[in-house]
Amino acid sequence: MSEEQWLPFWPPVASNTAVSVDRLFIGEFALSIVILGLVFGMIIAFSIRYRRGSAADRGNRVKKTWHWEIGWTVGSLAVFLCLFVWGANAYVWLFEPPRHPDLEIYVIGKQWMWKMEHPGGQREIDELHLPVDKTVRLLMTSEDVIHSFFVPAFRVKHDVLPGQYETMWFKPTETGRFRIQCAQFCGTQHAHMIGDVVVESEAEYAQWLTTQGVHASLAQQGEALFRADGCSGCHSANSTVHAPSLAGIYGRVVHLQSGEARIVDETYLRDCILLGGAHIDVAGYPPVMPSFAGKISEGDILELISYIQSLSSQPGGSP
């Protein structure tokens, strides 16, 4: 669709998710037209035929109403259930990120900008460069209020909450610039919390990555923080403090003091750094980890997590 059309009717279709959402929408739109035509048609037809003063026969009115009512109750229920199943199916697919995405991007929302971090350590503000035809998983959090990451051309949207991680995924199928918008009201400049997704060919994307002048990947930056913030003082093999080693811990199941078991994921690691307490602390270790709440930014936490993740992907590595 060109930009110059007189009245736009349809947003660009630029991802695999957009195709599937559009299909569903068109299906329901057609159904709505049918139902609307039926109701409006009947109202108009009855209004004309049975207007006051018309000579239409008004005898033999439908007296027994139950089979009519049961008819349209069951009818609408059946139609609705079909729509529900179709929708729920697509939603599970839409909201279940692939296990091994081609690319994982960290997104931090703050009043009123989007900060993106690429695995190689490249950072962008209000712009997100992506290669075409690759599945992308976003790990998103907010530094202040609730934002919502929305790319109309991809038909995907997810709220970005402070204090927790949310994920979403998509696979761009067209190159070009597409708008990012904040969908959850977040303050004065909410309308300007916008940006662009720049979808490029793989070669262009690789080229772009190299021109960013970054020498350390996110994980390497996280490792530097790990030492600077004193984490290594306890969590290293030769430490005198009895603290769990972090090598290979990401993705494993740990048993907690409270008796629960939890998968070590981004949310769990974040809680460990910020909240502390027995619903976090691993069984068998003294609860001595201090809370870093207020002392560390969301970006730093993501770097630390990236570092801890990297310890799992290189077996034998020990901090």
Complex with another protein: residue 49 or 242, whichever CB lies closer: 49
Establish if 261 lies at the interface with another protein (CB under 8 A). Answer: no
Q: What is the 3-state secondary structure (H, E, C) of 168-211?
A: EEECECCCEEEEEEECCCCCCCHHHCEEEEEEECHHHHHHHHHC
Half-sphere exposure in the Cβ direction for 268 (13 Å, CA): 22
- Return the structure tokens found at 162: 């402070």
Kindly list the distances between the CA atom of residue 296 and the CA atoms of 18, 278, 291, in Å, as whole numbers in the listed order: 37, 21, 10
Establish if 188 lies at the interface with another protein (CB under 8 A). Answer: yes
Per-residue x/- track, 264-283, another protein (CB under 8 A) = -x-x------xxxxxx----
Distance between CA atoms of residues 77 and 130, nearest Å: 43
Among 51, 213, 215, 316, binds another protein (CB under 8 A): 51
What is the nearest approach in angstroms of another protein to the Cβ of residue 284? 16
Establish if 171 lies at the interface with another protein (CB under 8 A). Answer: no
**Binding segment toward another protein, per CB under 8 A, in 116-124, 175-183, 225-233, 306-314:** 175-183
What is the nearest approach in angstroms of another protein to the Cβ of residue 304? 18
Q: What is the dihedral of CA 29, 35, 36, 38, to 10 degrees?
A: 150
Among 56, 125, 216, 241, binds another protein (CB under 8 A): 56
Kindly list the distances between the CA atom of residue 284 and the CA atoms of 190, 236, 244, 308, in Å, as whole numbers in the listed order: 47, 17, 9, 21
Instruction: Give the number of residues written for the chain.
Output: 319
Establish if 50 lies at the interface with another protein (CB under 8 A). Answer: yes
* Contact (Cβ atoms closer than 8 angstroms) between residue 302 and residue 218: yes
Establish if 309 lies at the interface with another protein (CB under 8 A). Answer: no
What is the nearest approach in angstroms of another protein to the Cβ of residue 76? 4
Among 19, 125, 127, 144, binds another protein (CB under 8 A): 144
Segment 87 to 126, residues that bind another protein, using CB under 8 A: 87-88, 90-92, 94-97, 99, 111
